[in-house]
Structures are given as structure tokens and as C-alpha cells.
Amino acid sequence: MLVTEVNETHVEHLVSTLEERGLSGSTINRYLAALSKMLSYAHKRHAIYHMERMPFIEWHEESDGRDRYLMPEEEQEIISTLTNWGDTDYLDLYLFLIDTGMRLNEALSFKKSMVNIDVNNDMIVLLPASITKNGHKRGVPLTERASGIVSRLLANCESNDKVFSHLKYWRCENLWIKLRKAMGLQDDKDFVIHCLRHTCATRLAQSGKIELHLVGQMLGHRSWQMIQRYAHLVPSNLMGAINVLNTHNKQSASG
């Protein structure tokens, strides 16, 4: 079917098919977003595609995005368990993901040449657009713990080597499944490797010291909708805002 032939009936049929497959509202919206992108591309190029109007797309309601994240005691249990198993190489990777908020594929793909030391001697990983999910480059500053992990690995890397080249994607996933079972969390379907990324974002948001747009910038979120999923974690600072206004009013009243 040509994109110019798509109408509301086709869109509704697509949605019905996806619903029958048991897909969630957020997943269906990802399909609709891809379709909308194609339709919009054609609609904006009327001279080429002669598309008169955009078909209406009704988006599904999504959950509030309160993603699973690690509690401090769970992190300590992970450290203890993997240390006892002798899987410290993969433990380093998991801790790196917690401290950077990187996606697993991003962490396994960045190279020594992408690691930079700034004027304050802080380590930053400059991820190119080619390995990020959204195709936009970004810089990820490293904590002291993450810097220590990377520094140890850089000693054995050439400039074009991947820093975590000694680790395998499939092993990361399989070890996590084993770990989840050992922790008695096999029935917790949200306890996946990706929750390490959410842990990073959650800790930043819960601190109340980092603005949400900066959290999104560090994690590579491009849309405000994605960033807003952490808004419920931010401590209420409304009284602080009132205090600012009160101070300003007092200064104005006193001349």
C-alpha cells in the first residue's frame, strides 16, 4: 500500500490487530509513531506525493512510567552475589550502567577513543550518534566508581578497541536471569537489565538537586514525555518557591 492511500480505516485496523496480539498502549503508540512519521513526510511534500490530508491517529493512553529501579539493599546483594560467583567483570558492567544510565548496547559499544579527560580531570564518555538509540551524540560524565572501572580497562585497550570488548551481550542477559533467580525475583518481570538505567535516572531525580531536563540530557532522552516519567520522583520544592517570592516581596516592600 502506498503511504498516500492510508486512511482512518487502515489505522483503526492496525490498532485492532495490535490489540489482539496483546500489545500494551505504549507499544502500540510506537507503531503509530512510525506510521505518523511516514505520513507526515509525504504530507509535507505535496508536490511529490499529492497527499491532501493526514488521516486522524488516536493515540493510546500510556502508563505513568514508574519504572523498576534498584533499592540500595538490592544493589548490595548484586555486588555480594556476583563477587561470590567470581563474575566481577560483569559486576563492573552492571555498576557502570547504574552510574551512567547508559543502555546496555551503548556501554558495550563505546571505544577507548571516545573516553575524554576534561580540564578538571573528570572522565567523560562521548557517545557518537552511530551507537545511541536516538541517533544523537551525547556526553556522559562518569562517577568516581565508573571512572575507576574504565581506567582499569583502558590499560589493556588500543585506541579503536571497545572498552568492554571482553564481555558478551548474551552473557550479560543470561547472567542477569541467573542473578534474578538467586535473589528470589524471578517473578518480577520488571527486574531486567534496563532497570539499571532507570536506577540512575531515579537517583538523580530523587535528589531534588538535578533538573529533569539535565537528567534527560544525560540519559539521552529527546522527548519531554520520556523525561516526565521521572517527575513523580522529584521532591516537592513548592514551599521553596514560595519562600523565594516572599523574600522578593519583602525586598520590594522595603525599597
- Please write the tens of the pLDDT for every residue from 176-193: 999 999 999 999 988 999
Weakest-pLDDT range from 22-26, 58-62, 212-216: 58-62
The reply to whether 85 and 184 lie within a common domain is yes
Residue indicated by cell numbers 523525561: 227
Q: Is the pLDDT of residue 104 over 60?
A: yes
Q: Does pLDDT of 208 surpass 80?
A: no
Q: Please, are residues 132 and 78 in contact by the beta-carbon 8 Å criterion?
A: no
Contact 138, 220 (CB under 8 A): yes
Residue 215's pLDDT is 84
Cβ–Cβ < 8 Å for 58, 222: no
Given a cut of 60, whether residue 66 has pLDDT beyond it is no
> Which of 110-114, 190-194, 196-200 is the most confident on average?
110-114
226 shares a domain with 153? yes
Same domain? 115 vs 196: yes
Residue 18 lies in a domain: yes
Residue 30 has pLDDT above 90, yes or no: no
Cα–Cα distances (Å) from 93 to 26, 140, 166, 170, 172, in that order, read 29, 15, 11, 13, 9
| pLDDT on residue 242 | 66
**Residue 116 corresponds to which cell in the numbers above?**
575524554
Handedness of CA 190, 196, 198, 204 (dihedral sign): positive
**One domain for residues 157 and 35:** no
CA 218 to mean position of chain CA atoms: 9
Q: Are 74 and 180 in contact (CB under 8 A)?
A: no
Q: What angle do CA 82, 87, 93 make, to 5 degrees?
A: 90
Mean per-residue pLDDT for 115-130? 91
Instruction: Find the range with the poorest average confidence among 14-28, 66-80, 100-114, 241-255.
Output: 241-255
Residue 67 lies in a domain: no
**102 and 34 together in one domain:** no
Residues spanned by the domain of 226: 72-233
In the predicted model, what is the mean pLDDT of residues 186-212? Answer: 88
Q: How confident is the model at residue 111 (pLDDT cuts 50, 70, 90)?
A: very high
Q: Are residues 38 and 95 in the same domain?
A: no
Residue 23 lies in a domain: yes
The answer to whether residues 138 and 127 touch, using CB atoms and an 8 Å cutoff, is yes
More confident site: 87 or 68: 87
- Asked if residue 247 belongs to a domain, the reply is no
Q: How many domains does the chain have?
A: 2
Cα(171)–Cα(233) distance, integer angstroms: 32
Alpha-carbon distance 198 to 220, whole Å? 12
Q: What is the DSSP string of 48-62?
A: HH----PPP-PPPP-
> What confidence tier does 62 reach under pLDDT thresholds 50, 70, 90?
low
- Note whether 114 and 214 are same-domain residues: yes
pTM: 0.71
pLDDT at 100: 95
DSSP secondary structure, 65-101, as one string: -------HHHHHHHHHHHHHHT-HHHHHHHHHHHHH-
- From CA 179, how far away is CA 12, in angstroms rounded? 42
- The per-residue pLDDT of the chain, averaged, comes to 88
State percent of the chain over pLDDT 90.
57
Interval 116-137 mean pLDDT: 90
Q: Is residue 24 part of a domain?
A: yes
Confidence at residue 64, expressed as pLDDT on a 0 to 100 scale: 54
Task: Check residue 71 and give its pLDDT.
Answer: 92
3-class SS of residue 196: helix
